[in-house]
Amino acid sequence: MDGKGFQALVAQLGDLSTVQREALIAALKHRLPINEAVGLIDTRFSADPCCGHCSSKNIRGWSSQSGLKRYRCKDCHRTFNALTGTPLAQLHRRDAWFAYAQALADGVSLRKAAKRCGIALDTSFRWRHRFLAAAKDVKAKAVKGIVEADEAFIRKSAKGSKRLVGRAPRKRGEKAKPGLSADEYAPVLIVRDRHGNTTDQVLPDLEGPTFTRVLGPVVANDALLVSDGRAAYGQFADRAGLLHVALNASKGERTYGSYHIQNVNAYISRLKDWLRRFKGVATHYLPSYLGWRRMIDRYGDDLTALKCMTQALHQTAT
């Protein structure tokens, strides 16, 4: 990470304490590598340490680990170091994290990201999901105005699992069975308004109560809902007292006046095209990939390593 990029990162790390932030800025001024910056944090923290779990100052020394002094709290009886409770806790190979964030911004495969950063493939896998842990929960809290909703069906995958439950393993290149079988596909409800606010949810089923549970908290009371002809949408709209336009695609209904679901369908098309590069996404990790795609859609060409890094650190990237 160059000096300018590191300074921008420091400015957005709101979870750092004053001591930690000042230590990082001091490290920047002296052009220290990130590992040395962490060492400076450790030195300043040791002058006035407090528990990273309960903030107690009733502590004592407790050896060292990974080059950092470790302490034990006499009140909560837990151990900690200068980074406990911060976004920098438990990070290894800190020198490669910014490069990995750039790999995420570029949307490269696990193997290419591992090669870029000089890390093992399994490490690349773990880092990807640590970076995306926050992104999967960053979605629109409300959609309003004209709201379009539709389902995307993503083929189920147990990729990486050591045991398969309920079916035999597939052969490489095997095509899905005809129809949208619940055994073959995971339904994802995609909701998007005309302002681009987007939310999604992997569904356990396609029943009315499930749609109501997912849509109720996010669809504004005065919104106009546009969907396909699935009955679950109508059931939700009736319960919520919303205006609802249902388009029956099987009868050739693509629009009703100016109302359509082309925006959400275009988003679904982009999502599916993008997922193909991963040659199958494990259903267990699908929410993380949905969050990654929302992040790409939100920032477009402005998605940078810095934004990926701050997103991973539970901050709102600007």
Cα(76)–Cα(247) distance, rounded to whole angstroms? 59
Q: Which residues contact 11 (CB under 8 A, 6 or more apart)?
A: none
Q: What is the DSSP string of 134-199?
A: HHTT---S-B-SEEEEEEEEEE---TT-S---SSPPPPTTPPPPSS--TTTEEEEEEEEETT--EE
pTM above 0.75, yes or no: no
Q: Which two tokens stand for residue 118?
A: 């000089």
Looking at this protein, which amino acid is placed at residue 126?
R
What CATH number does domain 146-163+178-281 carry, 3.10.100, 3.30.230, 3.30.420, 3.40.50? 3.30.420
pLDDT tens for the chain, 318 residues long, are 444 555 454 444 444 556 655 665 565 555 555 566 667 777 878 888 888 888 898 999 988 877 788 999 999 999 998 877 664 666 677 778 778 888 999 988 899 999 999 999 999 998 898 888 878 888 999 999 999 999 999 998 877 665 655 555 555 555 555 455 667 899 999 999 999 999 999 999 999 999 999 999 999 999 999 999 999 999 999 999 999 999 988 788 889 989 999 999 999 999 999 999 888 899 999 999 999 999 999 888 888 877 786 676 554 333
Backbone angles phi, psi at 86, to 5 degrees: -115, 165
Angle between helices 97-106 and 121-135 (to 10 degrees): 70
